[in-house]
């Protein structure tokens, strides 16, 4: 098996060990004579896999008992609509912080159901920093406050948890969940598409405080009602069984890395090294304010944009894949999620330095 270094923003790199284990038990899961994909989701075997995955995630994030963990489909994008449908209750307004492309998508969808108050935005500064706590203009009438803890495309990450007082705090943690410890009890709801730090695409994890369930708008489709999924342990209909199983393997792998605390140390080291290399050169640049630089997604530009395609071709030849920036912003982006090793980041830095030298 020749595995290259994969810096994809998502679907993203998975740990080698996880893929090897999945491969080893693909056709015959634990001597049962069939694969996990071919089993009923209600079988004892699958239920044990599902329950263990949930427990491991609870352990990793220290999720309190009064939170439900849901394993859903539809991606984080479905959550953009499910959140207002489920959390508005009797209210009509919701607060949103705008820090980039994913915030804007969440805002646009919420506007179909709610009066959205954009309580702070750094768009005028090209989203090069997150709003400060004292810039949040929160409204008393809001059903919840929503923000995106890590903007995957902009490479912009909150360095604090906003304080919304009694108003439930909702966070899109798609691209930084499990990358460093967070205090779950600060949130009303946390959601994340799986395809970065959790597992393969097709699975969406929602962690929701129990008291927020049961107030969905009357027109909410059954499949979009959190309470339906919570009451059925995410088995109201057929869940994405293979993705759930694979997420479970990733959680076990993460526990073996020292859990979220252990991986956070490695993540910080990886990010520091990469930003240091960018900052040490006039050839590469990253525009984000230092405290808000993402430890998961590192966008960078080349001083000479003419060299971008050459950079990508040579990087690929050197075994460094998927470094192209998002189509909406261009430039380069290295996504360095949990499963991207420090060795991979070191190889990238070495390549960048070599590329710069040969072009200087
Ligand atoms: N939010 C963020 C922060 C994301 O990075 C993404 C996907 N890259 C989404 C939402 C949308 O996720 P999905 O494709 O799972 O709907």
- φ, ψ of residue 316 to 5 degrees: the values are -60, -40
Q: For the segment 315-327, what is each residue's pLDDT rounded down to a tens digit?
A: 999 999 999 999 8
26 has pLDDT over 70: yes
Domain ranges of the chain: 17-256, 259-359
Give residue for tokens 């090069």: 128
Write down the mean pLDDT value for the chain. 97
pLDDT at 330: 86
Q: Is 152 annotated as a binding residue?
A: yes
88 has pLDDT over 90: yes
Residue (of 107, 206, 211, 116) closest to 151 by Cα position: 107
What architecture is domain 259-359?
A: Alpha-Beta Complex (3.90)
Task: Please give the CATH topology (third level) of the domain spanning 17-256.
Answer: 3.40.640
Q: Which atom of ligand 1 is nearest to the CA of 148?
A: 3
Spatial separation of the C-alpha atoms in residues 23 and 40, rounded to whole Å: 20
Asked about 172 being catalytic, the answer comes back as yes
Q: For the segment 166-210, what is each residue's pLDDT rounded down to a tens digit?
A: 999 999 999 999 999 999 999 999 999 999 999 999 999 999 999
Q: For the segment 128-164, what is each residue's pLDDT rounded down to a tens digit?
A: 999 999 999 999 999 999 999 999 999 999 999 999 9
Whether the CB of 80 sits within 6 Å of ligand 1: no
pTM here?
Answer: 0.98
Spatial separation of the C-alpha atoms in residues 6 and 316, rounded to whole Å: 10
Q: Ligand 1 centroid to 76 CA: how many Å?
A: 5
For the record, the structure tokens of 270 come out as 């990886």
DSSP state at residue 285: E
Spatial separation of the C-alpha atoms in residues 200 and 60, rounded to whole Å: 19
pLDDT at 272: 98
């Amino acid at each position: 098996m020749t595995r290259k270094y994969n810096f994809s923003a998502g679907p993203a790199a998975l740990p080698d060990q996880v893929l090897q284990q999945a491969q080893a038990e693909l056709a015959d899961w634990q001597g049962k004579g069939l694969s996990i994909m071919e089993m009923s989701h209600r079988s004892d075997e699958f239920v044990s896999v599902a329950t263990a995955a949930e427990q491991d995630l609870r352990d990793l994030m220290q999720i309190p008992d009064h939170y439900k963990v849901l394993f859903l489909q539809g991606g984080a994008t479905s959550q953009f609509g499910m959140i207002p449908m489920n959390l508005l209750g009797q209210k009509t307004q919701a607060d949103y912080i705008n820090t980039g492309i994913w915030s804007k998508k969440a805002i646009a969808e919420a506007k179909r159901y709610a009066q959205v108050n954009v309580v702070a935005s750094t768009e005028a500064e090209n989203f090069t920093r997150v709003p400060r706590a004292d810039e949040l203009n929160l409204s008393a009438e809001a059903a919840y406050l929503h923000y995106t803890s890590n903007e995957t495309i902009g490479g912009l990450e909150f360095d604090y948890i906003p304080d919304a007082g009694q108003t439930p705090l909702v966070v899109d943690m798609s691209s930084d969940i499990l990358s460093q410890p967070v205090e779950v009890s600060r949130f009303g709801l946390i959601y994340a598409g799986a395809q970065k730090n959790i597992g393969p695409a097709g699975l969406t994890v929602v962690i929701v405080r129990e008291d927020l369930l049961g107030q969905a708008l009357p027109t909410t489709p059954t499949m979009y009602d959190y309470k339906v999924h919570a009451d059925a342990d995410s088995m109201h209909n057929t869940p994405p069984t293979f993705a759930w199983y694979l997420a479970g393997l990733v959680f076990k792998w993460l526990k073996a890395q020292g859990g979220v605390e252990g991986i956070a140390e490695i993540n910080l080291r990886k990010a520091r090294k990469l930003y240091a290399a960018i900052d040490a050169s006039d050839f590469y640049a990253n525009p984000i304010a230092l405290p808000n630089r993402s430890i998961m997604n590192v966008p960078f530009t080349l001083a000479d944009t003419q060299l971008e395609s050459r950079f990508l071709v040579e990087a690929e030849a050197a075994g460094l894949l998927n470094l192209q920036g998002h189509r909406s912003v261009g430039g380069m982006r290295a996504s360095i999620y949990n499963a991207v090793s420090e060795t991979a980041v070191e190889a990238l830095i070495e390549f960048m330095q070599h590329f710069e030298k040969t072009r200087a």
